A and B are shown apart, each in its own frame.
Chain A
Amino acid sequence: MSLEVSIRKKLKGFYLNVSFAQEGQVNLGILGASGCGKSMTLKCIAGIVTPDEGRIAVNGRVLYDSEKKINLPPGKRKVGYLFQNYALFPHMTVEQNIACGFGNNGGGKAIIEELLGRFQLEGLGGRYPGELSGGQQQRVALARMLAGNPEVILLDEPFSALDAHLKEAMQIQMIKSLETWKKDAILVTHSRDEAYRICRDLMVMESGREVAFGNTRELFRDPKTLAAARLTGCKNISRIRRLGDHQLEALDWGGVRLMSKDEVTEEIRFAGVRAHDFHPADGCAEMVNRIPVRLSELTEAPFEMVILFSCGAQAEHEIWWKVSKPDYRGIPEDLSVAPEDILLLRE
């Protein structure tokens, strides 16, 4: 199994320019803010939108090649697309919707029954999509998509239309399903949680370009660039001055000196600390990497405290700290961070 994508397209406001290649079972996430071109990338792969130039190939089969003037129509690409709002035909019953997945020949009664069973839709074949819950609608859309036996499946924000309480259950189901189907899959999302849970590999996008690519866990652990750190949810970022191989001065955090575990190379311009990685430093004088802070805002979430500090001479910089409630012991005067939790970032 292989997937090769290289597309360029002029869009309103920016230029979409992505290329990646994957070997073996593809399980790729594309993470980015809305309007960064991630859905457009999927639409290009599916053939709904034609890029200006580039090449798309699945298992060596060329779907699109601007040089060789190849552009297969969407129906001939063997690519399944799960739309954000599922795009079920509202005037057709569940059965009729699934039958459409077989293209022009409509499948057969028995095979549709089998699909209904596989997607826990027994007895709902005669219902209309408007009569189903969000989760059921998603299962109908998945059944319809798999009816055509696609080689690659593209999931475009598959959970954004679901109620919060359904989301997690459906995500777990999706992870299991992707394992059983053994199909190449690309999932587009703006949710870090979803990307982290579901995707083995991750591409982070910003205004039409790839800003980071790699193993998902690795990428969250060490985002390497400023943009990747921001998009993977790093709330605290400071400009730095390099002091030594493992020493730096955090210019935006009151000029404190910090020690890092990784080496501070010449190209490192920023340091990042995730909001959960701070610890209160009160009462333990030997703790390294202390940052003096003043409280500016405290909000309470169901299971954690979200605290906004200010630091610097004029209190001009913000530091976010998130701590789970059992660990919360009041507002500290200093925060500290372990050297291995300091993310060293390039521009």
Chain B
Amino acid sequence: MDFSPILISLKTASLSIVITFFLGIACARLVVRLKHDKLKMVLDGILTLPLVLPPTVMGFFLLYVIGVKRPVGEFFLEYFGVKLAFSWTATVIAAVAISFPMMYRSARGAFEQVDQNLVHAARTLGMSERKIFWKVMMPLALPGVASGGVLSFARGLGEFGATAMVAGNIAGKTRTLPLAVYSHVAAGNMEGAYQYVAIIVVISFMVVVSMNYFTMRGSVYGKRKRRREP
């Protein structure tokens, strides 16, 4: 069995989740703080679009941006000597683009569910906005944010369409697990596909279980039982 797809997939998913996680939280915070309702709606629409577009269409857009003859792609090639399209970097870009909306939406939902009175209380107590975000919003939204992260990781791991479009299916270089499954089936090698399928199923199952763990833990603080007034 060729282990390179497993390695490539894990590497891609690991790097992309780091980018997605922080980018998603930052965008969620930005949108939650927006006061202008229409602007909020439009921005939210743009940030959520990758979730509803077919991944191949996202791949198409990405190619338009990072292709070697395109501004960004050309810039990277000329100044850094880095070829973005059809490289391992492209698998990360594709995974980030596709998994971003899940992270963004989970984080946004989690922030919006934090009791606004707590934020108001923090403001009247004179806490700075930065402190309110890190000391109040983040800890209370953490279960939702964490489960969003886990879900995005899984989504990045399973990314197929956009990756095939911008990174191709180069064995040992950009062939991730889903692409390896596809290649084996296309070549009529069902035996080979089974192994990769099994690995994907195992990893995905672990992801769902860990997500349930995060959400179930929820936000129960303190272990002692509630006491009555003496």
In the bound complex, residues from chain B placing their C-beta under 8 Å from that of A81 are 120-121, 124
| Contact yes or no, B229 A127, CB < 8 A | no
Q: Is B221 a contact of A100 with CB atoms below 8 Å?
A: no
Residues of B within 8 A of A132 (CB): 226-227
Mark contacts of B101-143 with chain A using CB atoms, 8 A cut-off: 1 yes-contact digit, 0 otherwise: 0000000000000010110111111111001000110011000
If A73-B123, A75-B125, A103-B126 touch, whether A87 touches B118 (CB-CB below 8 Å) is yes
B222 within 8 A of A: yes
Q: Is the CB of A148 within 8 A of B126?
A: yes
Min CB–CB distance A169 → chain B (angstroms):
9
| B222 in contact with A135 (CB, 8 Å) | no
| A87 with B126, Cβ < 8 A, contacts A104-B131, A133-B227, A136-B229 known | no
Instruction: Kindly list chain A residues whose C-beta atoms are within 8 Å of the C-beta of B136.
Output: 89
Interface residue A208 (Cβ < 8 Å from any Cβ of B): no
Which residues 96-117 in A have Cβ within 8 Å of B in the complex?
Answer: 100-104
Q: Determine whether B38 belongs to the interface, using a CB cutoff of 8 Å to chain A.
A: no
Do B226 and A103 touch (CB < 8 A)?
no
- Check B217 for interface membership: any CB of A closer than 8 A: no
Q: When chains A and B are docked, how far (Å) is the Cα of A127 from the Cα of B227?
A: 11
A273 to chain B, nearest CB (A): 40
Q: Is the CB of A75 within 8 A of B123?
A: yes
In the assembled complex, B33 has its CB within 8 A of some CB on chain A: no
What separation, in Å, do the CA atoms of A101 and B140 have in the docked complex? Answer: 19
The CA-CA distance from A85 to B131 in the complex, in Å, is 22
The answer to whether A130 has its CB under 8 Å from any CB of chain B is: yes
| Cβ–Cβ < 8 Å partners of B222 in chain A | 127-128, 130-131
Is the beta-carbon distance between A80 and B140 smaller than 8 angstroms?
no
- List the A side residues contacting B127 at CB < 8 Å: 75, 100, 103-104
**B228 beta carbon closer than 8 Å to chain A:** yes
* B-side contacts of A135, CB under 8 Å: 229
B189 part of interface (Cβ distance < 8 Å): no
Q: Which of B126, B136, B140, B227 has the most CB of A within 10 A?
A: B126
- Asked if A74 and B123 sit within 8 Å, CB to CB, the answer is yes
Contact B125 A148 (CB under 8 A): yes
Residues of B within 8 A of A91 (CB): 139-140, 219, 221
Check if B36 is an interface residue, CB within 8 A of chain A: no
Given contacts A135-B229, A136-B229, contact A87 B128 (CB under 8 A): no
Interface string of B201-226 (1 = CB under 8 A from A): 00000000000000000011110111
Q: Are B221 and A128 in contact (CB under 8 A)?
A: yes
Q: A75 — nearest CB in chain B belongs to which residue?
A: B126
Say which size band chain A's interface belongs to: 35 or more
Per-position contact with B for A123-154: 1 when CB-CB < 8 Å, else 0? Answer: 00001111111111000000011011000000
CB–CB B115/A87 < 8 A: yes
Given A103-B125, A128-B222: A87 and B120 within 8 A (CB)?
yes
Cβ-defined contact, A166 with B125, below 8 A: no
In the complex, which of the residues B121, B128, B224 has the most CB atoms of chain A within 10 Å of its own CB atom? B121
Partner of A104, one of B120, B126, B224, B226: B126
Determine whether A79 belongs to the interface, using a CB cutoff of 8 Å to chain B. Answer: yes
- Check A47 against B124 for contact (C-beta < 8 Å): yes
When chains A and B are docked, how far (Å) is the Cα of A132 from the Cα of B221?
Answer: 12
Interface residue? A196 (CB, 8 A): no
Chain B residue numbers with a CB within 8 Å of A100 are 122, 125, 127, 135
B121 and chain A: residue at smallest CB distance:
A87
User: What residue in chain A is nearest B136 (Cβ atoms)?
Assistant: A89
Residue of B nearest to A80 (CB): B124
- Give the chain B neighbours of A129 by CB distance below 8 A: 221
Residues of chain A within 8 A (CB-CB) of B221 are: 90-91, 128-130
CB–CB B126/A76 < 8 A: yes
Asked if B229 and A166 make an inter-chain contact with CB atoms under 8 angstroms apart, the answer reads yes
- Measured in the bound complex, the distance between the Cα atoms of B219 and A87 in whole Å is 15
CB distance from A75 to the nearest CB of B (A): 3
**CA of A102 to CA of B126 in the docked complex: distance in angstroms?**
8
Write the nearest CB–CB distance from A143 to chain B, whole angstroms. 12
| B111 nearest CB across to chain A (Å) | 15
Q: CB distance A104 to B128 under 8 Å?
A: yes
Give A100 to B134 CA distance when docked, in angstroms. 13
Among the listed A79, A90, A102, which residue makes an inter-chain contact with B124, where contact means beta carbons less than 8 Å apart? A79
- Of A76, A102, A127, the residue contacting B224 (CB under 8 A) is A127
Interface residues of A in 69-86 (CB under 8 A from B): 73-77, 79-81, 83-85
Complex Cα spacing A266 to B49, Å: 69
Q: How far is the CB of A46 from chain B (nearest CB, A)?
A: 5
8 Å CB interface, A157-207 against B? 166
Q: Which residues of A contact B122 (CB under 8 A)?
A: 89, 100
Q: How far is the CB of B19 from chain A (nearest CB, A)?
A: 27
A-B contact pairs, 23 of them (CB 8 A): A75-B125, A75-B127, A81-B124, A83-B121, A87-B117, A87-B121, A89-B118, A91-B139, A91-B219, A100-B122, A100-B127, A101-B125, A104-B127, A129-B221, A130-B226, A131-B222, A131-B224, A131-B226, A132-B227, A133-B227, A133-B228, A135-B229, A148-B126
Give me 16 other A-B pairs in contact (C-beta within 8 A), A84-B117, A127-B224, A136-B229 excluded: A46-B120, A75-B127, A75-B128, A76-B126, A89-B122, A91-B219, A91-B221, A100-B122, A102-B126, A104-B128, A128-B222, A130-B220, A130-B222, A131-B226, A132-B227, A133-B226
